[in-house]
Structure 1
Amino acid sequence: MDDRQLQQWVEEISLQSFGRPFLHQARFNRRLRSTGGRYFTRTHDIEISWHQYEQYGKQDVEKIIKHELCHYHLHLTKRGYQHRDEDFKRLLQHVGGTRYCRALPDALRRKEPYRYKLVCQHCGMEYMRKRKTDPRKYACGHCRGRLKLVALDLQMNS
């Protein structure tokens, strides 16, 4: 399936399930891994995770499309389109969309190793980080003590 076919599919689902046309762009995004899809409030476009389609097929992706179309139609009609809004929850249940998408296997999620550790100088609490952070900007969440940055020794097997 390509973006053109996805566009037609989203337009069909919109008319069948919502009784309203989808007048913007729908496309696959191969970088989406932790979410099934996205709705953009500025452009009203929708992106769907290619990996969800590849891994779980049409049935699961149809539920994700319905979820994104709930955001789309509620936003355009100036009703509660956010996850916490009652309008959104009600419409999602009515059309049979999914609240959450299924998790992708670890091989597709590209988990990075922890490369840094922040250590509290007062209580010894440790905070693992993937990115380097400035310890002066933060305090220990446990005792409010000062933090010290420690780079972890990662051995690359080449």
Structure 2
Amino acid sequence: MDNTELQKLTEDISETYFKRRFRHQALFNDRLKTTGGRYLLSSHNIELNRRYLVEHGKEELIGIIKHELCHYHLHLEGKGYKHRDRDFRELLQQVNAPRFCTPLKKKTESKKTYMYICTACGQQYIKKRAMNPDRYRCGKCRGKIKRFFREKG
């Protein structure tokens, strides 16, 4: 699906569920990471996360579009368009729009870890962040700590 198909879908949903025209732009924003979509107050455009379409399908995308259209139409009418407003919650129920979208799958990339070993007692320390071993001592025996090189894992 490209931006022109998304625009058409958004206009159709607005006519069907809200009985009002959508007069602005709906487009995919691939920089969105943690949210399904957003309504921009200044330009009245709607930006959507393409990953929701890929991972969860068209039905999830339609739910996100309905949610953002609730913000859109209430804001243009001068009513409460924020998540905590009664007008917004009532309109969500009327059009059967989700309040929250389904979470995306997290990337399962293995993070680099750093391993440090005490030279006196052999106590191992595995850290997510690199540290300067000269500034620290072993918590068990107060011995010197040495960095042990380790692969990702």
Same fold (TM over 0.5): yes
1:152 aligns with 2:129: yes
**TM-score for both structures, normalised by structure 2:** 0.72
- In structure 2, the partner of 1:53 is 53
**1:91 equivalent in structure 2:** 91
User: Which residue does 2:76 correspond to in 1?
Assistant: 76
**1:33 shift after superposition:** 2.2
* Contact 1:33–1:104 (Cα < 8 Å) also in 2: no
Q: Which amino acid aligns with 2:92?
A: L
- Cα distance 1:111–1:22, how it changes in 2: closer, same or farther (>3 A)? farther
TM-score (norm 1): 0.70
Deviations 1:74-106 (A, max 9, x none): 000000000000000000111011100111111
The residue aligned with 2:39 is: 39
For structure 2, list consecutive stretches of 5 or more residues without a partner in the other structure: 113-127, 132-148
**Cα distance in 2, alignment partners of residues 72 and 107 from structure 1:** 31
Rounded Cα–Cα distance in structure 2 between residues aligned with 1:68 and 1:13: 11
- CA 1:92 to 1:107, structure 2 compared with 1: closer, same or farther past 3 Å? same
| In the alignment, structure 1 residue 27 sits paired with structure 2 residue 46 | no
Cα distance per residue 1:92-134 (max 9 Å; x no partner): 11101110011111128x8988xxxxxxxxxxxxxxxxxxxxx
CA distance in 2, matches of 1:73, 1:62: 16
Report the counterpart of residue 119 of structure 1 in structure 2: none
Q: 1:111 to 1:23 in 2, by over 3 A?
A: farther
Hey, what's the Cα distance between the residues in 1 that align with 2:32 and 2:54? 12
1:9 aligns with 2:9: yes
Q: Which amino acid aligns with 1:104?
A: L
* 1:65 lines up with 2:42 in the alignment: no
- The sequence identity of aligned pairs, in percent, is 45
Q: Provide the aligned length of Structure 1 versus Structure 2.
A: 121
| 1:12 alignment partner, SS class | helix
Classify the secondary structure of the residue corresponding to 2:79.
Answer: coil
Show the counterpart of 2:119. Answer: none
Secondary structure of 2:28's match? strand
What one-letter code is carried by the residue in structure 2 that aligns with 1:153? Answer: A
User: What is the CA–CA distance in structure 2 between the aligned matches of 1:95 and 1:111, rounded to whole Å?
Assistant: 41
Task: Look up the match of 1:103.
Answer: 103
2:103 partner letter: A
**C-alpha RMSD over aligned residues:** 2.5
* Distance in 2 of aligned mates of 1:156 and 1:91: 55
**Residue 30 of structure 1: how far off its partner (Å):** 1.4
